[in-house]
Amino acid sequence: MRAAFFTGQNLPLEIREIKKPKPVKDEVLVRLHYAALNHRDIWVQKDTNLTGQPVVLGSDGCGVIEDTGEDADPLLTGAEVIINPSLNWGNNPVVQGDTFKILGYPDAGTFSDYICISKKQVFEKPEHLSLQEAAAVPLAGLTAYRALFSKARLRAKEKVLITGIGGGAALWAMQFAVAYQARVYVTSGSNEKIEKAKTLGAIQGFNYTDPEWTTQALKEAGGFDIVIDSAGGPQFSQLFDLMMPGGRIAIFGRTAGNIPDVPTRLLYWKQISIHGSTMGTRDEFLSMLDLLESRNLKPVIDKVYPLEEIDTAFQRMKSGNHFGKIVLQVK
């Protein structure tokens, strides 16, 4: 079987032929048909000084169960499944435990022909999604769901601003919010991406490269109840001017780096809440799948590459020109 290995910091992934794994105990062997990229894969490449054996990256995947361990029901064989990459969350739904990790590092991930994983991590593929579409759901969909509903506690008709539209989690947050009858606005450095977002239900968008974008946003929307942010960085402090009293900010990324300062007076006077968020629980994953099925939601897919072109796919993500999930065809 083929697998794409992370072999060292800032090095291209290396596709190797390895022995097909065999499931043990409660594991199932999934023949992966599609996998998908996330910014996490890029951060692992950039930030990790690999000292041990090379690791197969990849958190998102969908495929067919081909074999089962002795403690897994053999009737699962042949089922089309989607993989939950949130591993060992723990017993506290408020925050992950000490043993929490995300599939794809340090555990072998989905950029391969096969994966062995606990039966607890696989769920029946939503019927309305193809295998390709389902592979574009897990990490980004779960991240967006927890940030929007569990953390920011979205209510219908609220005004929501989603920054950096175009990435997988931001698009899922937008689609979830639109489906929940929120009034959704977006930001991007690309006018083309803003126009695409409007075709998916966004009311308006603002180009954050324009120094006057916050003034335009206030004029257009009058303030926001919720901001979903994945960037952080210097522009984060501008969000406080945009918040309605009692507003909530949920942040789950750092693509623009650390936040240099926070306007403290606005934070307490407006009684704004800031919620850090990472991935989600098993129950949130199930609720996210229920929302997809009940509202017939499908992912936005940017491009599909064969596994052999994985480094081209990574370059596409690093360029920032993508709009939607970048998917790998494995089978």
For 135-139, 232-236, 304-308, which range has the lowest pLDDT when averaged over its residues?
232-236
Q: Strand 159-162 to strand 183-188: parallel, antiparallel, or no bridges (unpaired)?
A: parallel
Q: What value does the mean pLDDT take over residues 143-169?
A: 96
For the chain, the domains span 2-137+299-329, 142-276
Question: Does the pLDDT value for residue 124 go beyond 90?
Answer: yes
Domains 2-137+299-329 and 142-276 in one fold = no
The percentage of the chain sitting over the pLDDT mark of 90, rounded to a whole number, equals: 90
At 13, the pLDDT band (50, 70, 90 cuts) reads very high
What is the pLDDT at residue 225? 98
Q: What is the mean pLDDT of the chain?
A: 95
Q: What is the pLDDT of residues 196-231, one digit of tens each?
A: 999 999 999 999 999 999 999 999 999 999 999 998
* Percent share of the chain, pLDDT over 70: 100
pLDDT at 331: 86
Q: If one looks up domain 142-276 in CATH, what number appears? A: 3.40.50.720
> With 90 as the cut, is the pLDDT of residue 256 above it?
no
For position 284, what pLDDT does the model report?
Answer: 98
Q: What is the pLDDT of residue 121?
A: 98
The pTM (predicted TM-score) of the whole model is 0.95
Q: Using alpha carbons, list the distances in angstroms from residue 314 to 4, 10, 197, 320.
A: 12, 11, 23, 10
Domain 2-137+299-329 matching CATH 3.30.1120.10: the answer reads no
pLDDT of 9 reads 87
Average pLDDT over residues 136-161: 97
| Average pLDDT for 164-186 | 97
* pLDDT value of position 17: 95
Q: Is 75 exposed, middle or buried (0-12, 13-18, 19+ CB in 10 A)?
A: exposed
